[in-house]
Structures are given as structure tokens and as C-alpha cells.
Structure 1
């Protein structure tokens, strides 16, 4: 047997072994960190799920949706992120939104694992601020029937609590919303029983450096949170935008889950203008993870500018 044959056989064996390595089919832990003044901001992924454009998007033609997707090199079905944001002020640990928990199935409910991967523990969270009480924002406050954040106070706008925790409102609402009422009540029940669910008034200052911003339309009390320190500002805006490729191009596009489509449309237009004008950093619940970026005016619509990746966010450069 020649040396050339032996070498060729060895090469083929090595190549075959590497080619047979199984594909992994997972992503890295879903967290991303940046600084806002002295505040540490950690984006947390709860997972992604297919957003049902055909049945949910309203106020826009299918052709306009397809054109907006194509302009962003996307096509149906579109995966949507579920993001939350952890703010460490140095004195308090504040979680803004909590993901879906077990309510969306295997796709999601990854927030607690990602919070731990990011170096924190659920029991360290002092306050949970909810932008609204839809199941993909409130579901994660519960884990295996118990409070996921055992030492936290949970807060949401009083108008949202009055609506989603009301049996009368549930009876009068469209049938497709019934499970949203049930999920909100069940998720908040242990916090309510312990006196740790505390609704707030519009525009309330909630902790030093964080105040509520009224964003009506998606739900009756839908709220964003303006986080400010050191002359820098982050607006965590919740569900102002569901599908960025569509709604930044077609600002009038709404979703059937909006409690008031006209109000949701006006809120979106106003906040996009403000974010672009003031160069606000935005934390978006449903823009591709980590959902942190800026908004720029582009023609009749807007463009999303993702935050530049930084290996050491605390480095002052």
C-alpha cells in the first residue's frame, strides 16, 4: 500500500468525520448589556414566535405589507421577538416587562434562564414594571404557579388593571380576548394577594430615574417607561411597534389587539417623531432582539438603527 493511498484515505476519513458533526439548532443565551449614564441596561430575550401577519395586521393592504417586508429582505412567516429590559440603577433592580412565561408554549418563557445567564437572580429584582397586561408581557411574573420574582413589587397603569382585571369588561370584550383577561388575573393573583401589585397613575415617577409615559391605544393603560441618567435617556415603549419592517414604513398599520386603533396609530406616529427628534435610545418589546436602537426619519416613514455591539459596555472609551 503506497504512502499516497494512505494519506488520501486518512484525509477522506478526517473529512467525513467533521462533516458528520450534528447541527446544534440553538442560539447563544439571550441577553445583551449596555450602559445609560451610570445605569446598567440588560436586554433579555423571552424567545421568538411567528407573528401572524395575515390575521392580525390591520389598517394596511397585504400588498403594502409584502412590499415593506421585501424592502427589508423579509418574507412571510416573520419571526417576532419578545424582549424585556432589566435596569440596574445601582440601588434598585427594575425589570420592565416579564415575557410570556408558560403562556406561549415552547417558543418562549426563556426570560428567567436568560436573566440568570446575565448574572442576576430572580429574587434580586425589586420592581417589575409592566407596559401592559397582555399575556406576552405579564405571563412571566408567574413560574410554576408561584411568583417568579418573590421579592418584587409589580406595577402597571391603573387603567390597564381596571380593564384587564374586570369581570364586567371581560364579558363585554370580543371573544378572542377572553384568554387575555384570564391570563392577567391568574398571573397577578399571588402578587395581589400579598399586596405587591400596585397600579399607578399616568406619568407617575416610579423609582428615581424612571417614570411612566402614557401611550394609549394598544390597551387602555398601555405605558412606556422613560429611563434617564447622566443626561442620557432610554424609552422602553412596549408595543408601540409589533413588526418594525411594516409599521416603520406604514405607520398607520395597526393590529387587531389594539383596544383603539386610532389612538394606537396616533401614539405610534407621535413617539416615532419624538424618538427621531430627540435621538432617544429605544427599548422595543417586539423589534428583533436585543430590541435596542434609535429611530431615524426616512422619507414618509422611519428606519430602525440597531445599537452598535460593544464587547465591554462599561468601557468609557
Structure 2
């Protein structure tokens, strides 16, 4: 059973540099220690006044193929791998300073972010977490694309994902389930990379996006499999989908005890589920305090 524990931050600032997939802009991401109870927040160091964008379902902005947060004109995008790294290793409070809107793609996974956080080290804080214990189902979507949160199976957070690109696709059908702990996150999930079909990559380039991205920077599939690259796991694609779900659930801002089941879900549905859970939890707190 997941239980309340001392909150954690990192012990010192540490940075990751790279380029955004969509824009190609170079960006520096600096993870910084933060006070107890402050949660996760991005700071746009490049904008006047260094505006702060709190990681919260209320700051999420609908977007295709990525998770975007915004407060007024201050926006950060492609934040899901950064958030998955923080949630996965158990960091509750952290300030993330950035000098561009889009987070670096790195190798398409959360590996570089986890390595940076591990270099910084971790510090327990004089405050405790307040986990959310899911006691009833929440479902978003329907038909052949949905995501659902159910009561926990083993007392913690587990994520089950069903990926289906069809029998004629080089990706095909994949299934993966993970009991999410810092150990399993590091060994089974954080290195799973972003993937696209060759046709999707060509469509993005036609729109003037991701023109600089090579097959070595993410998985691009043609009819025969990954182009100029090799899979880290036979089911790396579905593992990456689980990574995305974990990063999007970080919007809730608290540890979660639940079993999540997803079928062909993407960032929009993941965000809807996080919002539904957060809203239900807030209402429950209001009822208990009344």
C-alpha cells in the first residue's frame, strides 16, 4: 500500500541541454531544489519577470502529440518526459528553469533527465505527501480510444497500456503493464523512446516541423521496422506510451494509488483523466471539511 512519506526535492541544481523536436530551438533545462509543499513548476527564465508555470491540471492546454502548460503568455511544451522523470524517481518539489518554450527531445526518452536528477541527489523534507487513493473508476474517451483509472491492485500505482496500430503496421499490437516504483521506472520504462511512422514524420516535415530530427534521435518506423536504429525492447513503443501516461498523471501533483488501463490513449485523454481525478479529489476534500 502506498503511504504518506517525507516529501523530496533535489539536493543541488543540475542542467540538461538539447534541442526541441518541433522547433529545433536550443534549450537549457535546469532542475532546482524547491521548498516543501510547492510542487513542480516551470520558470521561463528567458521571459521578462521570469513567469512561473505551475504543473497542475488547471495549466494544461489542449495540444496535439504533446503536453503543453501555460499561464498567460508563458508557455512550456513537450513537458511529459521531464514530468515522467520527476514523478518516476519520486521528486515532489522542484523548480524547472528553462530558456525556451519547448523541452529538449534528447534521445526521445526520459533517460537524460533521470541521469541529471540522480547526479543532483535527493533530499527529504520536513513535510509529508498526501497520496490520492482511487476508490471508484474514472473513464475518459470511448469506442476504440479510452483511458480508465480504477482502484489500486497492489496498493500503489500501476499502468496497463494496449497499443494497436493494426496488423499491417510494423508496430502492430503491443501490451505492457508496469507496477510503477522508482526501481521499475529506471529499469523498465525511462529509456523507452518516442516513435512515429515514416508517413507521420514526412507529414510533420511538410508542415515545417521537426525537419532537423534524425532517425537516431527517436524511432521512425517504415514497413521493415525502425530506420537506422534498433529497439531497446521488442515492445518499446508501448512502454513509451506508459511513460507518457506517467508524465501526464504528474499534473495531479500528488502520488496516486490506482490501476490505470489505457487503450490507444494519447496526451489529450491522459490529461482529461488527470483532470477528472484531480477534480474528484478536490470535491472529496470539500465534503470532508464541510
What band does the TM-score fall into relative to the shorter chain?
under 0.3
- The structure with higher relative contact order (CA 8 Å, sep 6+) is 2
| Structure in which a larger fraction of residues adopt strand | 2
- TM-score, normalised on structure 1? 0.26
* Structure number with bigger Rg: 1
| Structure in which a larger fraction of residues adopt helix | 1
- TM-score, normalised on structure 2? 0.28
